[in-house]
Structures are given as C-alpha cells and as structure tokens.
Amino acid sequence: MILRCLPLLTLAVLLPAILQPVTAADNTGPWDLPTLKQTPAAEFGTPDGLVRPVHYSGEPFQGKPTRIFAWYAQPSGTGPFPGVVLVHGGGGKAFRDWALHWANRGYAALAMDLAGHGPDGRLSDGGPDQSDETKFRPFADSEAREMWSYHAVAAVIRGHSLLAAQPDVDANRIGITGISWGGYLTCLAASLDDRLKVAVPVYGCGFLADNSVWTQPRFNPMTPDLRQRWVRNFDPSSYLAQVRCPILFLNGTNDFAYPMDSYRKCCRLVPEDLRTVSIIPRLPHGHIWTFPEVDAFIDSCLKNGQKLARIGPAQQAATDVSATVQATTDIREALLHYTEDDGPWQNREWKSLTAAISDGRVSATVPENARAWYLAVKDARGITVSGEHREAGE
C-alpha cells in the first residue's frame, strides 16, 4: 500500500452547538436558480488545440455588471460529449490543464475563475476576490448577494448553463468536481442545481463554523447572529440534504482545512444510496486533478464506466467489525485504518491493518487502544473507497 503524506497543521477549536444548519427541501438560499439556469451571454476566443478561452456574464457586484473568465475544452470529433464543470480552490484560478485533462478523457469541460481574474490578471469587471477577508466579512441579509460565496456559486451554475448550451455537449450528462474551496462550492452547487448528474467534492465540505481551519480565526470572533447568518446562507450543511445525484466525498485523514468530524456530518446529510466515501490516509492537499477515484466515479455515472465499490454500514461486536462490500471489479486489498490518538484530527497518526474479505463482507479486529477507525478497500484499478469512520464509544 502506498501512503501519501501531508504536512500537519493545528486544528481550530470547536464552536458551541448554537449553529443549526437549515435542511429543508427546496432551500435555494439567496440564489435565483431559474435565472442562473439560463444560458449566459458569452464571448469565446480563438481555439488553441482542444482549448479556448471564454468570458461569460456573472452576477452584478456593487451595482455593476461582471464577467467570468473560463477555459472551455472539447474533445476532437463530434459529440454529443458528456460534460464536467471544474471548480478551483483557494489560491487557484481557471486551470487550462485541468480542462484539457478532461477533454483528453472524452469530456467537454469548463474551468472558470472565481476570484475576478482573467488569464493575465484581475478583470476590470470581475467579481469579488477570494480572500478570507472577503469570504467572512460582516454582512446583513440584504447584502448576501454581495458575498463571495454567492458570486462563486452563481458563477458555477452559470458555467453549467453555458456548458450545457454548447452544440456538441449532451446537456443530460454533465457533472461537477471541485477542489478544496471548490469542493465546498461543489457541495453547494450539487445541492442547488438539480440538472447535475454526478458530483465529486475533493476535501471541501460544510460545518465550517463547527470545526475547520477557519473556526478559530474567522467564525469565533463573529457575533452569534453573524455566524448563524453565514451558516444559513453559505454553509453546505444548510443544503446538502437536497442532493439528488450520486456524490463521491474524497478527503484525507489529516486534511488541514476540512477535518474528519465535519466531513462525516456532511456525508450523513446525503441519502445513503447516493453517497460514496473515499478517505485516504494522509492524502495530500492541493490542486490535484489526477486522483483515479474522481475520474472513475464520474465515468461510472456519465459514460457507463465500472462502478466504484461500496462499503455498507459497519457492524460491531466487541472489537470485531465488519461491513458488506459490493464491487464490480476484483478487490485487491482490504484494510482497517485506525488512530490511537485524540485531539486535532490533523495531528493524529494513522496506522493500517490488513482486513479479511469473505462472502461479500470485509472484517477486522479493532485494536484495543483505537480512538477512531474505518474500513477501506482498494480494487484492481487502485481505487479506494471506505466506510465512514467510527470513534471510540460510539
């Protein structure tokens, strides 16, 4: 088994449980979805191989119209091609190579910028920047449409509308994936945009005010009213119960920004038959778009590719644990990952033991001193899926 490493950073402290996410069906927050689902005005540039630049209209910001820059990529030949919307994270941009990665895999792809930038710097008519000061600034309910999260989600949904309108794209086979803050936005877009057929948030999740790298520096100094307003409008926990497409949650055990407790709470909001989880020990955090789990999961939903394995809920008797496994490919490896540490998730050391597979079940014995653990399998393609983690005493 190859273990991937991640620098360990300090986790923020927990907030009191005064922040209750909104989970009502048809919660659209501040977004006007019928308008966002219309094809935006767009100007395409000159193609360069499979890729070409495009500017499309965004939401008004500070009373002025805005434009969004993106790279559009399309495979050679004629469609209809499936499509994928690509959402970058903090410090990112519209990544040309990310769009090209998907075009080379047979998809039309749109990778947009979400910080008001074009290919060569800030746009004169760009939207809000992506700094933490902008994301978490004080706002009233009447100012929700001036916030970065509002503009970013709107840009993603408008980007979907633009992608779906292209003549060689199959509008009924479009998915989304995002990285870090892009994973956060993917959670929101998948909850709001019922046209999407598959979603993969990488790292990003909700319950940010409860436990995340932003809890201490950003949420704790807020007034209770402001925290509740931010959560109600912009935290994925207020929307994820509405997801109606298959979704793969991919994260690492020691992610510096999105810890495992908040991640698990987000996963549990999505109906069990729609969610797949892949938690990988010490998964590196970055703008990485070559995880095989992402490609295979989207293929399974949009191109009739082989499905990922699925691990059912774990059953435990004393220290013996087991769960059902459904797989369409051979399982190469089964493991129990566990930590004997308490404290911040980022700082915990994780260990692994070989688990057994027999008659469609994976089973293992949990070490006596384990404080948290989960089962995982890796198939013949090297693709990892896992069950949700359990903590001692649960």
Predicted confidence (pLDDT) at residue 261 exceeds the cutoff of 80: yes
Contact 192, 149 (CB under 8 A): no
DSSP class of 85: E
365 shares its domain with 278: no
> Per the domain annotation, does 15 fall within a domain?
no
pLDDT digits (tens, 9 = 90+) for 62-78: 999 999 999 999 999 99
State the DSSP string of 54-81: EEEE---BTTB--EEEEEEE--SS--PE
Predicted confidence (pLDDT) at residue 2 exceeds the cutoff of 60: no
Span between the terminal Cα atoms of the chain, in Å: 28
Predicted confidence (pLDDT) at residue 15 exceeds the cutoff of 90: no
pLDDT at 190: 98
57 shares its domain with 200: yes
205 shares its domain with 271: yes
Contact 110, 102 (CB under 8 A): no
89 shares its domain with 149: yes
Q: What is the mean pLDDT of the chain?
A: 93
pLDDT digits (tens, 9 = 90+) for 293-338: 999 999 999 999 999 999 999 998 888 999 999 999 999 999 999 9
Predicted confidence (pLDDT) at residue 6 exceeds the cutoff of 80: no
Q: 10 Å Cβ neighbour count for 290?
A: 8
147 shares its domain with 289: yes
Distance CA 87, CA 83 (A): 13
Residue 266 belongs to domain spanning: 33-305
Handedness of CA 94, 194, 58, 302 (dihedral sign): positive
pLDDT at 318: 87
Please count the CA atoms within 13 angstroms of the CA of 15 that sit on its side-chain side.
26
122 shares its domain with 203: yes
Query: In which band, very low, low, confident or very high, does the pLDDT at 394 lie, cut at 50, 70 and 90?
Result: confident
Predicted confidence (pLDDT) at residue 7 exceeds the cutoff of 80: no
pLDDT at 299: 98
pLDDT at 274: 97
pLDDT at 13: 31
| Contact residues for 35 (Cβ-Cβ < 8 A; gap 6+) | none
Distance CA 51, CA 159 (A): 16
Query: In which band, very low, low, confident or very high, does the pLDDT at 26 lie, cut at 50, 70 and 90?
Result: confident
Look up residue 390 and give its amino acid: R
Query: In which band, very low, low, confident or very high, does the pLDDT at 163 lie, cut at 50, 70 and 90?
Result: very high
Please count the CA atoms within 13 angstroms of the CA of 204 that sit on its side-chain side.
27
292 shares its domain with 320: no
Query: In which band, very low, low, confident or very high, does the pLDDT at 138 lie, cut at 50, 70 and 90?
Result: very high
Predicted confidence (pLDDT) at residue 252 exceeds the cutoff of 70: yes
329 shares its domain with 300: no
Residue 367's domain is classified under what CATH number?
2.60.40.10
Predicted confidence (pLDDT) at residue 181 exceeds the cutoff of 80: yes
pLDDT at 393: 84
Q: Domain ends where: 261, 281, 305?
A: 305
221 shares its domain with 80: yes
> Per the domain annotation, does 1 fall within a domain?
no
> Per the domain annotation, does 19 fall within a domain?
no
Q: 10 Å Cβ neighbour count for 62?
A: 8
Cis, bond preceding 21 (omega within 30 deg of 0):
no
> Per the domain annotation, does 190 fall within a domain?
yes
Number of structural domains in the chain:
2
> Per the domain annotation, does 20 fall within a domain?
no
275 beta partners: 247
| Contact residues for 149 (Cβ-Cβ < 8 A; gap 6+) | 135, 185, 188, 233, 234
Q: Domain ends where: 238, 270, 305?
A: 305
pLDDT digits (tens, 9 = 90+) for 336-364: 999 999 999 999 999 999 999 999 999 99
354 beta partners: 335
253 shares its domain with 143: yes
179 shares its domain with 239: yes
> Per the domain annotation, does 206 fall within a domain?
yes
Please count the CA atoms within 13 angstroms of the CA of 317 that sit on its side-chain side.
3
pLDDT at 25: 52
| Contact residues for 183 (Cβ-Cβ < 8 A; gap 6+) | 87, 89, 201, 202, 203, 204, 205, 258
> Per the domain annotation, does 26 fall within a domain?
no
Q: Domain ends where: 305, 338, 363?
A: 305
Residue 63's domain is classified under what CATH number?
3.40.50.1820
Three-state DSSP state, 267: helix
Q: Which of 268, 267, 263 is nearest to 251 (CA)?
A: 263
Q: What is the pTM of this model?
A: 0.93
> Per the domain annotation, does 9 fall within a domain?
no
pLDDT digits (tens, 9 = 90+) for 187-219: 999 999 999 999 999 999 999 999 999 999 999
297 shares its domain with 357: no
